[in-house]
């Protein structure tokens, strides 16, 4: 028996893999495996990351946060005549947009991408039983007119400043999917080829196509022979999912994967530790973006309904120090929900530096007087806040502890609570069951109008089936007016001014307490060039054809 064991061990140990030769394959580590591969069903970052390499939406935001055509020849605008104003029967402004699909756009089986695919996608998207999650975009489309095999006109029910963005419109291959959808739309979500025969080349129109799926483990992507654009550098891309980030890092260090995606990889603190190790094989790029870490305030709470108390809480925080100490200064302090990289960011909003004296003065004015170690109001009640966040998120737990310490120094009793993300997001926050403060993040797009988080009509309640994301309960007619105005203002300078007013109001009123814009750690092998982290929801893989291996 011992000799059998020795033999087995010898075979295993001696069979060390041969050193990698020419780089024909890139292995990417992710911390999540995409459950479904259908482009238009549930949204999931792992899926968006993979489909970024295999499929193209009509439009997207690039790394410079500019709207660009991904599957169209030109963005329709009023200047180039491809966008035309229309007026509905109700007198409201509408718009007609003409897009042309690239002449050389093909599915992976050689079938051209045509207006038939566009019409089919719209049909699936607006069907009430198709299972598409966010159907709002499809509902906004009143009609699509096919001019020819490549050109079509979309009629939208309203004219907004982002009228020509069809970022979520991912064409589906009608020649493959129609047979799956038409007989029974209600069961289409369970019969789509994207999940039943994922390696069909005809499902993909990007630089790569999915060649192998090992559920829960990895996906293998191979070059799409019918891709029209720049030829990608790698014959094959493998995406391996390792949920445990310590194990993911071990995979990287042992050569199991070549890189770790920033979009869905190591938490920042782990990325910082890796960067400090200064391993010559890797470079770590930190990209701050549109993930806005903040504390939502429950404005139904009488103490927190007082703006002076919220401002005092802000002055009591040393966010710059937190960023420096906890995140090596990689996470910029947020002053509003608009990122400084966004074109509509206002640089002159009121800011809240660390000023305990000012905080104390504001609390005194609000009637919370320091008695002994705690602040109390006229009725003798102590100023107490419960700060709740997601359990298991080390960064947030650390930040919560620092906040607790800094506010305690002001005499505020701070109680910390951490909940599993599922409970936190599906119950506590969504149903406004947090007593005082909830620490979490919003992910948005460039120039994303915060209607759902700030408009008074978006406060979740049982009556609206707990939809809307205005969890704070913020209701200010000035904010509602600004939100309504921004959406329909087409003139950029005028819109920027409206955005400036919105940010000023936000910074003064503080419906949420801004903390940081989260940074993500992209761990890349040194020879890999051309990877441009975007900092927004469109993943860097959407431009994978420009990634190059330069040893």
Partner 1 sequence: MSIWLLGRLAQAAMVLAVMSVVVHGLMGLMPGDPIDLMIASDPNLTAADAMRLKALYGLDQPWGQRYLAWAGQVVQGELGYSRLFAQPVLAVIGPALVNSLTLMLSALALSLLLAVPLGMVAALRPGSAVDHAINAFAFASASLPTFWLGLMLMLVFAVSLGWLPAGGMQSLGGDGGGVIDSLRHMALPVATLAIAGLGQYARHTRAAMLAEAGQDYIRTARAKGCGPARIALKHQWRNALLPLVTLLGLEFGSLFSGALITETVFGWPGMGKLINDAVMGNDFNLALTALMLATAMTLAGSLLADMAMARLDPRISLR
- Footprint of partner 1 on 464-523 (CB under 8 A): 464-469
Interacting positions 280-319 with partner 1 (CB under 8 A): none
The CB-of-269 to partner 1 minimum distance in angstroms stands at 17
Interacting positions 130-189 with partner 1 (CB under 8 A): 131, 133-137, 186, 189
Sheet holding 93-100, edge to edge: 83-87, 93-100, 151-156, 141-146
The Cα-based distances of 509 to 273, 299, 307, 448 in angstroms read: 37, 11, 6, 20
In the complex with partner 1, which residue's Cβ is closer, 17 or 378? 17
Lookup: tokens for 129: 């039983």
Question: Contacts with partner 1: how many residues (CB under 8 A)?
Answer: 71
Contact window for partner 1 (CB under 8 A) among 60-68, 238-246, 270-278, 540-548: 238-246
The CB-of-345 to partner 1 minimum distance in angstroms stands at 20
The CB-of-440 to partner 1 minimum distance in angstroms stands at 9
- Distance from the first to the final alpha carbon of the chain: 47
In the complex with partner 1, which residue's Cβ is closer, 330 or 451? 451
The CB-of-425 to partner 1 minimum distance in angstroms stands at 4
Lookup: tokens for 430: 């969504």
> Residue 47: which of 264, 315, 341, 345 has the closest Cα?
264
In the complex with partner 1, which residue's Cβ is closer, 30 or 359? 30
Interacting positions 426-465 with partner 1 (CB under 8 A): 426-427, 429-430, 444, 451-453, 464-465
Contact window for partner 1 (CB under 8 A) among 27-35, 98-106, 259-267, 495-503: 27-35
Q: Which 8-state DSSP code applies to residue 118? A: H
The Cα-based distances of 105 to 102, 112, 235 in angstroms read: 5, 6, 20
Coil, helix or strand for 295? Answer: strand
CA gap 421, 348 in Å, rounded: 35
Interacting positions 257-276 with partner 1 (CB under 8 A): 257
Among 6, 10, 35, 371, binds partner 1 (CB under 8 A): 35
CA gap 356, 358 in Å, rounded: 5
The CB-of-428 to partner 1 minimum distance in angstroms stands at 8
Greatest alpha-carbon span in the chain:
88
Among 7, 103, 246, 305, binds partner 1 (CB under 8 A): 246
Beta strands per DSSP E along 340-448: 369-371, 374-376, 384-390, 413-419, 437-443
Beta strands per DSSP E along 183-298: 208-214, 218-223, 236-241, 259-260, 282-297
Query: What's the number of CA atoms in the CB half-sphere (13 Å) around residue 127?
Result: 19
CA gap 452, 442 in Å, rounded: 11
Contact window for partner 1 (CB under 8 A) among 1-9, 82-90, 141-149, 383-391: 1-9
The CB-of-249 to partner 1 minimum distance in angstroms stands at 9
Q: Taking CB under 8 A as the rule, does residue 192 contact partner 1?
A: yes
The CB-of-195 to partner 1 minimum distance in angstroms stands at 4
Interacting positions 385-424 with partner 1 (CB under 8 A): 422-423
Among 66, 87, 190, 529, binds partner 1 (CB under 8 A): 190
Contact window for partner 1 (CB under 8 A) among 8-16, 157-165, 348-356, 368-376: 8-16
The CB-of-254 to partner 1 minimum distance in angstroms stands at 4
The CB-of-310 to partner 1 minimum distance in angstroms stands at 23
Q: Which 8-state DSSP code applies to residue 197? A: S
DSSP 6-40: HHHHHHHHH-PPPPP-S--EEEEEES---S---TT
Residues in the chain: 551
Query: What's the number of CA atoms in the CB half-sphere (13 Å) around residue 44?
Result: 18
Among 247, 305, 373, 409, binds partner 1 (CB under 8 A): 247
Binding mask 38-77 for partner 1 (x = CB under 8 A): x--xxx----------------------------------
Helix (H) or strand (E) holding 363: helix 356-365
Among 47, 94, 180, 218, binds partner 1 (CB under 8 A): 218
The CB-of-277 to partner 1 minimum distance in angstroms stands at 12
In the complex with partner 1, which residue's Cβ is closer, 103 or 247? 247
The CB-of-408 to partner 1 minimum distance in angstroms stands at 30
> Residue 176: which of 143, 207, 152, 209 has the closest Cα?
209
């Amino acid at each position: 028996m011992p000799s059998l064991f020795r033999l087995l061990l010898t075979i295993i140990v001696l069979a060390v893999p041969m050193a990698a030769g020419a780089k024909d394959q890139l292995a990417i580590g992710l911390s999540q495996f995409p459950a479904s591969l259908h482009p238009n069903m549930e949204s999931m970052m792992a899926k968006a990351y993979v489909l970024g390499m295999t499929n193209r939406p009509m439009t997207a935001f690039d790394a410079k946060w500019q709207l660009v055509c991904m599957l169209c020849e030109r963005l329709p605008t009023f200047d180039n005549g491809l966008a035309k104003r229309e007026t509905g029967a109700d007198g409201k402004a509408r718009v007609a947009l003409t897009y042309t699909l690239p002449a050389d756009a093909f599915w992976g089986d050689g079938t051209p991408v045509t207006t038939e695919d566009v019409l089919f996608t719209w049909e699936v998207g607006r069907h009430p039983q198709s299972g598409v999650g966010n159907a709002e975009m499809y509902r906004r489309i009143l009609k699509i007119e096919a001019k020819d095999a490549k050109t079509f006109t979309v009629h939208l029910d309203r004219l907004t400043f982002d009228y020509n963005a069809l970022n979520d419109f991912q064409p589906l291959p009608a020649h493959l999917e129609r047979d799956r959808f038409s007989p029974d739309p209600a069961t289409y979500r369970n019969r789509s080829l994207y999940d039943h025969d994922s390696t069909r080349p005809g499902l993909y129109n990007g630089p790569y196509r999915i060649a192998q799926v090992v559920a829960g483990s990895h996906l293998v992507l191979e070059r799409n022979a019918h891709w029209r654009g720049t030829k990608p550098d790698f014959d094959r891309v493998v995406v391996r999912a390792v949920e445990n980030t310590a194990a993911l890092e071990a995979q990287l260090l042992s050569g199991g994967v070549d890189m770790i995606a920033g979009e869905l990889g190591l938490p920042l603190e782990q990325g910082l530790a890796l960067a400090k190790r200064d391993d010559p094989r890797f470079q770590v790029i930190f990209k701050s973006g549109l993930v806005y870490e903040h504390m939502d305030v429950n404005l139904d709470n009488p103490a927190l309904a007082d703006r002076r108390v919220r401002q005092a809480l802000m002055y009591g925080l040393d966010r710059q120090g937190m960023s420096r100490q906890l995140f090596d200064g990689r996470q910029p302090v947020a002053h509003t929900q608009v990122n400084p990289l966004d074109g509509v960011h206002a640089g002159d909003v009121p800011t809240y530096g660390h000023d305990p004296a000012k905080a104390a003065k504001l609390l005194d004015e609000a009637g919370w007087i320091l008695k002994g170690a705690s602040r109390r109001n006229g009725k003798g009640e102590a100023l107490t806040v419960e700060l709740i966040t997601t359990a298991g998120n080390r960064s947030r737990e650390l930040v919560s502890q620092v906040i607790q310490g800094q506010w305690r120094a002001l005499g505020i009793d701070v109680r910390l609570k951490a909940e599993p993300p599922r409970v936190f997001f599906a119950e506590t926050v969504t149903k406004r069951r947090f007593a005082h403060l909830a620490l979490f993040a919003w992910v948005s797009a460039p120039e994303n109008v915060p209607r759902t988080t700030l408009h008074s009509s978006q406060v979740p309640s049982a009556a609206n089936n707990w939809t809307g994301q205005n969890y704070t309960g913020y209701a200010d007619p000035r904010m509602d007016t600004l939100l309504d105005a921004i959406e329909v203002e087409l003139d950029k300078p005028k819109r920027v001014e409206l955005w400036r007013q919105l940010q000023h109001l936000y910074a003064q009123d503080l419906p949420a307490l801004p903390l940081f814009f989260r940074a993500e750690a992209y761990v890349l092998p040194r020879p890999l060039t051309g990877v441009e982290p975007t900092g927004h929801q469109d993943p860097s893989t959407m431009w994978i054809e420009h990634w190059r291996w330069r040893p």
